[in-house]
Amino acid sequence: MGKDAVLRVEDLHKSYGKLKVLKGVSFEIRRGETKVIAGPSGVGKSTLLRCINLLTKPDKGRIWLEDVEITKPGININKIRQRIGFVFQEFNLFHHLKVIDNVMIGLTKVKKLPKDEAFRRAKEALLAVYITEDLWYKYPAQLSGGQKQRVAIARALAMDPVIILYDEPTSALDPQLVGEVLQVMKELAKKGVTSLVVTHEIGFALEVADELMFMYDGKIIERGPPKEVVFNPRHEITKKFFEKVGRLYGERR
Amino acid sequence: MTFWEEFLPALFKGVLTTLEMLAIAAPASVALGILLGTLRVYGGRVTSLIATAVVVTFRGFPLLVTLLLLFFGLADLRIYLTPFWAAVLGFILCSGSYQSEYVRGAIRSIDIGQSLAAKAIGMTKFQEVMYIILPQAIRRALPGISNEIIYMIKYSSLAFVVGVQEMFAVGKHFNSIYFRPIEIFLTLAAIYLIMTTTATIFFKWLEYKLRIPGIEMGV
Amino acid sequence: MPIVSPEFVNYVPYILKGALWTFSLTFGGLGLGFLIGVPIAVGQAYGGKIVKTLLDVYVWFFRGVPLIVLLFLFYWGVFPLVFGVKLSALLTSIIVLGLRSGAYQSQIFRGAIESIEEGQMLAARAIGMTKAQAIIHIILPQALRIAIPGWTNEYAILLKDSAICFTLGVLETLNRTRYVVIATGEALIPYIFAGIMFIIYTYGGTKLFNIIYEKVQIPGLIKSGGM
């Protein structure tokens, strides 16, 4: 495990019945880095993320979180998940809990922190994503999509994870709400929160990502600094995928 | 003494007995319903099988059969329940089984994202069910549960077959002596109507009190 | 005390014959309930204020009073004293079950009627049908199909409630079981047997209704309404 590496994924395979979704994925993320995975839909990007926090069990391959091999049998999965933040495409905020309770429940029930300490941390996390006090006592159903997703980020952030995984965080949002969520993600990335983001938002990758990994047919076929992968790719497939994007963001060599 | 001077005090005692039975059986049946519903969804092979067997049996048997079984049938096995407790236990098993179906349906109607999110912050299965799933499922099952409690109020009238001196038993007894069926049974009908109507209003209020925007209660 | 004696086996046919009464009560009540329930549902869905209120009272009364109270009220009171007729226990039971089931069924049908889109009624009126014609030819045929699952549930409920009619002396399954218990002195096996028979009767009937439900489905239209 390289020094300062927070996450290491080695040769991950996953099949659903006859369909092989991950065909040997490997990469590493160091502390403070932000990496983006992009690619056509259905190539297994979501599956990859869910394998990392073991919501899905990989068929083959190993994963390390800091120095712990989390794919080893007998490991306490729940303890591991406390250190990995996960932001879902469909937010998945707890419907029956107010915003503040959504963020606090992981701290009180899972981390077993005293209530006032949990409240303090929750406050911090919510303010970091620009959710102000007037929203704290509302229910998720009363919030806009962008607000919900920011609360979801706060919920993950409050657990003080070593890495946050974002699974297409803006795909379920109306276009005008995407910006506020990306803004928060960019700020967190710049602050040094280690992040792995699956997204179609190439602008985000170009702005803050340390590396862009292009995934196709279950494998990462190209990786490197975002500007290179997008505007100067080596493979034809990569070229084709980012063609349209290149036109959008202007060709830069 | 006139008929009413004799009937009403006895009837009052009967009403108290009915309420006594319900005060115990109603909450207990809700607890059993939640337990059985949860076990059927989350229990291991053996536990969920047992829970299913209980539900299928006590939903399938008419309440009368269950009552007679508990009072007379168990006596064959040297287990002697008093009329009161045979009746209460019968109500709990029967109503609890029906309620468990509503709970089970409600649990299964919760979208899987809630479970994933609970896991993602490191909750154990137990924590997930207790803090995230059940609070939502019980709210969704509340209309069905309320319905079953109201049925229980009415079916409590069957306790007389095992000898409980509740409302109906008193009415039946007085009818056999005085033969005034219209007065007696209309009075009983009125009292039951007051009880069921009050319960209906109470549960409507409870649903209102527990409502959370975003969790639909009509499933 | 023996738990089961070979004696009980002799009485099994006697108990099984009770099925005749059990099903008479069940289907009699179900049928009468249907004849009462549909008009009530139509009245509540389309009727004026007075009609609605009267029907609401009927439904409230017959759903709020326990079955056994209704049985005794009608058998000992209403029929002989108010109407001056002496009806058999079986007939009285069927009538009371029917009046009560009608109240419950009306709510099933009402839900089904209300779940049909407004457009159906509008289209019917647009081709010149009267309200009554629209209801009979367009709304009800769809509503009744939607209501079948709820109706099947009502069947299961009536089957179990039929046992309560033993209190009037009807020789249905449970009553016969009681006599066997008295005759043999054992209670456990006979009552378990009775319970199992009720489960079988329920299951059989439910399966039958499910088959009918499949058969009458309108191709391409999947709807669920009512209960």
Kind and range of the H or E element at B187? helix B181-210
In a domain, C224, yes or no: no
Distance from CA of B189 to the nearest CA of C (A): 5
In a domain, A222, yes or no: yes
C4 falls in which pLDDT band (50, 70, 90)? low
What is d(CA A52, CA B154) in angstroms, rounded to the nearest whole number? 55
Whether B182 and C3 lie within 8 Å, measured CB to CB: no
CB C209 within 8 A of CB C152: yes
- Supply the range of the domain harboring residue B142: 18-163
Amino acid letter at B71? F
pLDDT over threshold 50, residue A253: no
Give residue B217's pLDDT. 52
Which of C30, C27, C13 is closest to C173 using CA atoms?
A: C13
Which residue has better confidence, C167 or A67?
C167
A90 at B interface, C-beta within 8 A: yes
- % of residues, chain C, pLDDT over 70: 94
What is d(CA A185, CA A156) in angstroms, rounded to the nearest whole number? 12
Distance from CA of B212 to the nearest CA of A (A): 6
| Helices marked H in A114-174 | 115-128, 133-136, 145-158
In a domain, B169, yes or no: no
pLDDT over threshold 90, residue C171: yes
ipTM of this complex: 0.91
Q: Which of A82, A109, A139 minimises the CB distance to B214?
A: A139
pLDDT over threshold 70, residue C227: no
Tell me what percent of chain C is helix, strand and coil, each rounded to the nearest 5. Answer: 80, 0, 20
Give residue C138's pLDDT. 85
Whether A142 and B131 lie within 8 Å, measured CB to CB: no
Q: Looking at residue A226, which CATH number applies to its domain?
A: 3.40.50.300
Whether C163 and B65 lie within 8 Å, measured CB to CB: yes
Residue C90: alpha-carbon gap to chain centroid: 15
**Disruptive mutation site among B121, B139, B212 for chain A (greatest number of A CBs within 10 Å):** B121
Q: Could you tell me the two tokens for A78? A: 């729940």
Give residue B172's pLDDT. 95
Would you tell me how many other CB atoms lie within 10 Å of the CB of residue C3? 10
The count of structural domains within chain B is: 1
The count of structural domains within chain A is: 1
**Disruptive mutation site among B57, B76, B94, B187 for chain C (greatest number of C CBs within 10 Å):** B76
DSSP B158: G
Mean pLDDT calculated for residue range A53-58: 90
B218 at C interface, C-beta within 8 A: no
Q: Which chains touch C (3 or more CB pairs under 8 A)?
A: B
Phi, psi of C187 (to 5 degrees): -120, -30
Touch between chain A and chain C: 3 or more Cβ pairs under 8 Å: no
- Supply the range of the domain harboring residue C88: 6-216
In a domain, B118, yes or no: yes
Q: How far is CA A128 from CA A137, A156, A181, B171, C80, in A?
A: 17, 12, 12, 69, 80
In a domain, A177, yes or no: yes
In a domain, B57, yes or no: yes
Q: How far is CA B117 from CA A23, A48, A161, B212, C23, in A?
A: 27, 17, 15, 19, 51
Mean pLDDT calculated for residue range C38-67: 95
A245 falls in which pLDDT band (50, 70, 90)? low
Cα first-last separation, chain B: 54
The count of structural domains within chain C is: 1
pLDDT over threshold 70, residue A82: yes
What is the secondary structure of A71-91 as a DSSP string?
TSTT--HHHHHHTEEEE-TT-
Kind and range of the H or E element at B93? helix B83-109
C155 falls in which pLDDT band (50, 70, 90)? very high
CB B89 within 8 A of CB B71: no
In a domain, C1, yes or no: no
pLDDT over threshold 90, residue A179: yes
Q: What is the mean pLDDT of each run of 10 residues along chain B (219 residues)?
A: 89 97 97 97 94 96 97 93 97 97 94 95 95 94 94 97 96 94 96 96 93 66
In a domain, B190, yes or no: no
- Supply the range of the domain harboring residue A205: 32-57+76-249
Average per-residue pLDDT for chain C: 90
Helices B45-60/B3-42 angle, 10° precision: 150
Q: Could you tell me the two tokens for B70? A: 């508990």
What number of H helices and E strands is found in chain A?
A: 10, 10
For residue B173, what are the contacts with CB-CB under 8 A and spacing of at least 6?
A: B10
Q: Looking at residue C138, which CATH number applies to its domain?
A: 1.10.3720.10
| Residues on chain B touching C67 (C-beta within 8 angstroms) | 154
Helices C173-184/C6-17 angle, 10° precision: 160
Question: Using CB atoms and an 8 Å cut-off, which of residues 110-169 of chain A contact chain B?
Answer: 110-111, 139-142, 155-156, 159
Report, in angstroms and rounded to the nearest whole number, the Rg of chain C calculated over CA atoms. 21
Q: Looking at residue B85, which CATH number applies to its domain?
A: 1.10.3720.10
In a domain, A16, yes or no: no
pLDDT over threshold 70, residue A122: yes
In a domain, A182, yes or no: yes
Report, in angstroms and rounded to the nearest whole number, the Rg of chain A calculated over CA atoms. 18
Question: Using CB atoms and an 8 Å cut-off, which of residues 33-72 of chain C contact chain B?
Answer: 60-61, 63-70, 72
SS3 state at A38: strand
DSSP A6: E
| Residues on chain A touching B127 (C-beta within 8 angstroms) | 109-110
A41 at B interface, C-beta within 8 A: no
Q: Could you tell me the two tokens for B142? A: 């509340």
Whether C61 and B155 lie within 8 Å, measured CB to CB: no
Distance from CA of C46 to the nearest CA of B (A): 24
Q: Which of A78, A85, A96 minimises the CB distance to B123?
A: A78
What is d(CA B163, CA C117) in angstroms, rounded to the nearest whole number? 52
Amino acid letter at C146? I
In this complex, how many residue pairs, one in chain B and one in chain C, have their CB atoms less than 8 Å apart?
Answer: 112
Q: What is the pLDDT of residues A207-221, one digit of tens each?
A: 999 999 999 989 999
pLDDT over threshold 90, residue C125: no
For residue C194, how many C-alpha atoms fall within 13 Å in the half-sphere facing its CB?
A: 33
- % of residues, chain A, pLDDT over 90: 75
Whether B65 and C174 lie within 8 Å, measured CB to CB: yes
CB A216 within 8 A of CB A39: yes
In a domain, A110, yes or no: yes
In a domain, B73, yes or no: yes
Q: What is the pLDDT of residues C177-226, one digit of tens each?
A: 999 999 988 899 999 999 999 999 999 999 998 898 888 877 766 555 43
Whether A81 and B122 lie within 8 Å, measured CB to CB: yes
Would you tell me how many other CB atoms lie within 10 Å of the CB of residue B23? 11
Distance from CA of A131 to the nearest CA of B (A): 19
C170 falls in which pLDDT band (50, 70, 90)? very high
Sheet containing strand A19-30, strands side by side? A19-30, A5-16, A60-65, A68-69
Give residue C225's pLDDT. 44
What is d(CA C222, CA C139) in angstroms, rounded to the nearest whole number? 16
Mean pLDDT calculated for residue range A15-35: 93
In a domain, A175, yes or no: yes
